[in-house]
Amino acid sequence: MNVLSFPNKQPTHFAVSVRLRRDASPGDEVSFQRGTEDWLSCHELRAEGSQTRFVVVADRELTPVDQANVLLCLLDLHAVRQARVGPIVREGDDLKANLSGSYWIEADPHDVTVLAARVLYEAGRLDGDEFLAAIGGFVLRVSDVATEDLEGQS
């Protein structure tokens, strides 16, 4: 019997940033927090970080399907105005650096492009990579970099 050795898969993670509606009540925020934690737990994922800026981690390798599903879960929550996911990063990389990274896939609940891509994704016509590309792919937000630079100088 020939035994093949496969390299161990490294755990991965990706950053998430959420902007809540300006008129979100404290009850909406609690509902958002509980909804996020419950959904992640049901899908064997967990969040590390704050309420609206966190890293999604798992005891397995994450995929673009995980990113797409987390993004869609967040968009379903009433208090969310915009959700962003960062690229999948290997475990050895610095979590804090990735959390403050400026490469994001952004989506908001009422964007027609997101709604159309969601229909195709949920119908099985797009995979995770294709869904993320359809809603715009990863972009560098120059305004985020400028804001982070100003915050770092304080």
- Per-residue pLDDT tens for 25-77? 999 999 999 999 999 999 999 999 999 999 999 989 999 999 999 999 999 99
CA distance 14 to 125: 24
Residue whose token pair is 């770092």: 152
Q: How far apart are CA 68 and CA 85, in angstroms?
A: 9
Residue 54's pLDDT is: 94
Q: Give the model's pLDDT for residue 144.
A: 54
Residue 63, number of CB atoms within 10 A of its CB: 15
- 118-153 pLDDT, tens digit per residue, is 999 999 999 999 999 999 988 876 655 444 444 455
pTM of the model as a whole: 0.80
pLDDT per position as a tens digit, 63-118: 999 999 999 999 999 999 999 999 988 766 555 545 555 689 999 999 999 999 99
pLDDT at 4: 52
DSSP designation for 25: -
What are the Cα distances from residue 62, in Å, to 84, 105, 115? 16, 16, 24
